[in-house]
Amino acid sequence: MILSKANLNLITKEDVIVPSANIFELPEKVLQFGTGVLLRGLPDYFIDKANKQGVFNGRVAVVKSTSGATTEFDEQDSLYTLCVRGIENGQPVSQNIISSAISRVISANDDWNAILEIAKSKDLSIIVSNTTEVGIQLVNESIDQNPPVSFPAKVLAVLHERFKALGAINSGLVIVATELIPDNGKKLGSIVLELAKFNNLGDDFILWLQNENKFCNSLVDRIVPGKPDAATLANLQDELGYTDNLLSMSEPYSLWAIEGGAKVAEALSFAKVDSGVVIAEDIEIYRELKVRLLNGTHTLSSGIAFLSGIDTVKKAMTNEQIKTYIEVLMRNEIGPAIPYQVTEEQTTAFAGTVKDRFANPSIEHLWINITFQYTMKMKIRILPLLLNHYKLFNNVPENIAFGFAAYLTFMKVANEKDGKYYGSYNGIDYLITDDSASYLNNILSSDSSDYPSAVLSDVDFWKTDLNSLPCFTQAVSEKYEAIAKIGIADALVKLNSSN
């Protein structure tokens, strides 16, 4: 039995949350660009939860901008199961939710006119997007194409169609971008405005575009791996009692921080049902907590765990030495050095959720994947912490220094083949997926005896003088040598015993 509207009454398992019939009569209030699992596991999750409590009372029409059919959604009446698995407040969580948030999925290439019809609806109040980082780009093009090529041009076409149909009074929309770039909403808004001028859409429309529509920055944070492997999927479907080709896994933790005021909060009324939706004039604190405590900890720990022979994050949380390193790193070094005004309570609470998420037994998060563009992550996530630590305390953050030493060890190229660089440590051979691999290999080739110092002293590379930080280069070099002589596992034991 496949999941569908007609078969809902046949689903009798008590641990499956099933939508009521009245939800299918709700109007389409949201136009969503993107069919991906993150949108289905976060914004659509919140909307579904609110609808089931009679709060938001609106569904989501989804635009599929990429090629390919919408068959999987059509066959299931756009229903899908979200299987929430993990740890929350130290306790296991297991939920099976049949989401009815999505009303239909429309192919932009095959039925653009249907999307323009939605634009004219008085029920529509929100646009949500996740078109990946490359989606929010300026392409000077006509919005009269069927459809326009770029995502911002599609948004502009929708807004212009709405303005023509409904006029300027009480017709503006709230547009929330979730793409993983800084100031995602503001960037989208600026591109849409520039395109409006390129298309000569007139002063009245441009005035309405700027004054009546709200382009909101937002931050999304939830691990939604999507469809599990074949064996896990088969077991889940046996438990559920039906087939679901759109079934998706998700961790319990969820955050959607949206920049906006009263008008935004009024439109996004689903925020009332879940503390994971935060609407505030300033969401930078949530970005800093995520980028520093979650992403920063991931980055500093990735080389240590991988070189220790531990392949996944959850396995690392069963290793007492790495677990200790992560806890001390967050509590003593990252938390106090976040370059934003946060309280100790906030950092402690967020660090607790990070540890739960790291230990999630249902998420296969590979450390080798976290090392992707390792250097860039060190520069973006860790350097601001390091510099602020010295500004506040003017001493060596020993755990961050050890993370730098592990980074340098991981990035040590053992061989090159077909333009790709490979590392090798303690019998582990691995691909180094980092744009700086060639640069670091050149330094290693020219002066291997002073490799850490040579890298850390390169002001052009780091855009700051790390040698000006008292004793930092020396501390990293010593830890690098310790890893080389006694191995990373014993070097970590030594570090932890000194904390």
Q: What is the largest CA-CA distance in the chain?
A: 73
Greater confidence (69 vs 143) lies with: 143
Highest average pLDDT, of 227-236, 324-333, 444-453, comes from 324-333
Q: How confident is the model at residue 363 (pLDDT cuts 50, 70, 90)?
A: confident
Each residue of 15-41: pLDDT tens digit? 999 999 999 999 999 999 999 999 999
User: Cα(160)–Cα(165) distance, rounded to whole angstroms?
Assistant: 9
Each residue of 483-495: pLDDT tens digit? 999 999 999 999 9
Residue whose token pair is 């939605």: 118
User: Cα(223)–Cα(251) distance, rounded to whole angstroms?
Assistant: 6
Q: Report the pLDDT averaged over residues 108-131.
A: 97
In this structure, what are the phi and psi dihedrals at residue 457, rounded to the nearest 5 degrees?
-90, 0
Q: What is the pLDDT of residue 499?
A: 80
pLDDT at 404 over 90: yes
Q: What is the pLDDT of residue 182?
A: 87
Residue whose token pair is 């911002």: 152
Each residue of 175-219: pLDDT tens digit? 999 998 889 999 999 999 999 999 999 999 999 999 999 999 999
pLDDT at 256 over 90: yes
> Alpha carbon of 381 to those of 193, 294, 378, 384: distances in Å?
31, 10, 6, 7
pLDDT at 421 over 90: yes
Q: Report the pLDDT averaged over residues 394-422.
A: 96
pLDDT at 448 over 70: no
Contact of 236 with 247, CB cutoff 8 Å: yes
Nearest to 45 by CA among 215, 227, 267, 277: 277
pLDDT at 382 over 80: yes
Contact of 437 with 376, CB cutoff 8 Å: no
Query: Structure tokens of 98?
Result: 């049949």
Give the number of other CB atoms < 10 A from CB of residue 372. Answer: 14
Nearest to 296 by CA among 341, 338, 252, 353: 338
Q: Which CATH class is domain 284-498?
A: mainly alpha
Helix segments in 134-219, DSSP class H: 151-166, 184-198, 203-212
Q: Which CATH class is domain 8-280?
A: alpha beta
pLDDT at 431 over 70: yes
User: Cα(450)–Cα(375) distance, rounded to whole angstroms?
Assistant: 19
Q: Report the pLDDT averaged over residues 123-135.
A: 91
CATH 3.40.50.720 intervals, the chain = 8-280
Return the bridge partners of 106, or none.
63
Q: What is the pLDDT of residue 12?
A: 87
Q: What is the pLDDT of residue 350?
A: 96
CATH 1.10.1040.10 intervals, the chain = 284-498
> Alpha carbon of 384 to those of 300, 450, 461, 466: distances in Å?
13, 25, 15, 12
User: Cα(28)–Cα(75) distance, rounded to whole angstroms?
Assistant: 20
Q: What is the pLDDT of residue 68?
A: 81
Q: What is the pLDDT of residue 252?
A: 97
In angstroms and rounded to an integer, the radius of gyration of the C-alpha atoms of the chain is: 25
User: Cα(438)–Cα(432) distance, rounded to whole angstroms?
Assistant: 10
pTM of the full predicted structure? 0.89
Q: What percent of the chain has pLDDT over 70?
A: 100
Beta strands 80-88 and 248-250: pairing type? parallel
Contact of 145 with 187, CB cutoff 8 Å: no
